[in-house]
Structure 1
């Protein structure tokens, strides 16, 4: 049985839908493995330009499946840790995907669901969405997702919400930096579609490098070594086939090659 519904349109827009609505898309071993495989495929697939992550049913993702976690907890420490690493690999696969990612969030995003949100590049949420780092209420901690969530909202706010497990409204989630934009529930898909169009205007290689560069910027002070690294990168980008095509297309007042669909038609 598949817990991830996947599709790829003619523009290269991949959509992955968490499809376990009877459990509010709670993550278990099978779902984590399937989603990780789907992300790794999208990362290596030349036809995939960007990815939208969504949830079926009433919620985006209710976090970890309690039955799964109870079952794993009774196994040996080694087996327990191996299982936990599956979730860690999922978060890393999503966070480092070399293509733009959009989280389409509706309903509840709790626990691991917040982790998925924090790992996506752009988060568009319905006005009915809510968020919660609920782990401490069941004697656990947001350990695996913690680095990604803390990066998104900052250490000070992470301390509060890791400890209190308060429900975070969508409006406050935007204030915290977890959510980029809020839309009425009935307008969410249209907002996602507009964001997809904005992303398709960018060059795939440039987007992958721009995304990777954010980690470099975060880890290095602004000093000569970073200046030289950024100068080296932009020089290489200007001289790349993609960079040359983009500059030529601009001067020739035509769409660049990546703005054409698989039939060669302009998708501007």
Structure 2
């Protein structure tokens, strides 16, 4: 029997301040707004992002989506306070949590409107899933990025399919297994970022891109994205999803997953560090 995965239609935003939406002239600007946690992807943040995107998906008046982090910081990845709860949860609860990440990335990846992601300062762990699913990524030249999961005993499972499609299996292996911090310029060479600009030049470039996208047929852009995703797919979507949810749920409850998260909060090296 297949395990029940949370239905996207049931996702509700219980803290609308976490994701702020500003709409003007067909452009929807989404702001990740939890500066106290460096805009971490908490459960509430994910729910609000999913609910916001679901509303925008079929809104014919909106043609372009721009996602940015508040406080001149993009996103610190998954909320580790939330990850810490994994030990106390059932396997099904951990899978439901993992499903929220997969829902968000799958929704963004197949989103019928162009999605621009504006990256500042850093993008860590799960935040890189947002980059991998965007249509155009612009990064500040000082941005640092890292797939940090294995340092915490976790697995980048829910972002892996989308990252591999974006940068290839070889580069994903190197970066995900080493957890090396890399620059925006390297991210551009890999294809994870499309443009690297000085901070002062980004607002004008984002506006220019919005004008370009707005000049195009909404129906044609949506059909083109659907076509490209079909050409990209190599494995059954359900099989990939089940594998990803199982892996991340297992790692959240594992001894090393819990030790890694505890070590982070206790500001010490995990026991496996040599």
Q: Which residue of 2 aligns with 1:4?
A: 19
State TM-score, norm by structure 1. Answer: 0.80
User: 1:120-178 CA distances to partner (integer Å, 9 max, x unpaired)?
Assistant: 01101111212110000000010000111111111000000110000110000000000
Give the superposition deviation at 1:50.
Answer: 1.1
Unaligned runs of 5+ in 1: 221-268
Tell whether the 8 Å contact from 2:110 to 2:229 is kept in structure 1 after alignment.
Answer: no
CA distance in structure 1 between the aligned counterparts of 2:233 and 2:150, rounded to whole angstroms: 30
1:90 aligns with 2:104: yes
Give the superposition deviation at 1:219.
Answer: 4.2
CA distance in structure 2 between the aligned counterparts of 1:214 and 1:35, rounded to whole angstroms: 24
**Count of aligned pairs:** 219
Give the superposition deviation at 1:217.
Answer: 2.4
2:52 partner SS? helix
Q: Which residue of 2 aligns with 1:245?
A: none
Q: Which residue of 2 aligns with 1:133?
A: 147
Q: Which residue of 1 aligns with 2:205?
A: 191
How do 1:17-96 residues align onto structure 2 when only pairs under 5 Å count? 17-96=31-110
Q: Which residue of 2 aligns with 1:259?
A: none
Give the superposition deviation at 1:78.
Answer: 1.1
RMSD of Structure 2 on Structure 1 (CA): 1.1
Q: Which residue of 2 aligns with 1:214?
A: 228
1:7 partner SS? strand
Tell whether the 8 Å contact from 2:165 to 2:232 is kept in structure 1 after alignment.
Answer: no
How do 1:97-108 residues align onto structure 2 when only pairs under 5 Å count? 97-108=111-122
Tell whether the 8 Å contact from 1:24 to 1:58 is kept in structure 2 after alignment.
Answer: no
Q: Greater relative contact order: 1 or 2 (C-alpha under 8 angstroms, separation 6 or more)?
A: 2
The structure 1 segments of at least 4 consecutive aligned residues displaced by more than 3 Å after TM superposition are: none
1:57 partner SS? helix
Give the superposition deviation at 1:218.
Answer: 2.5
Tell whether the 8 Å contact from 1:21 to 1:58 is kept in structure 2 after alignment.
Answer: no
CA distance in structure 1 between the aligned counterparts of 2:69 and 2:47, rounded to whole angstroms: 16
Tell whether the 8 Å contact from 1:72 to 1:83 is kept in structure 2 after alignment.
Answer: no
State TM-score, norm by structure 2. Answer: 0.78
CA distance in structure 2 between the aligned counterparts of 1:147 and 1:22, rounded to whole angstroms: 30
CA distance in structure 2 between the aligned counterparts of 1:121 and 1:151, rounded to whole angstroms: 13
Q: 2:125 aligns with which of 94, 111, 123?
A: 111
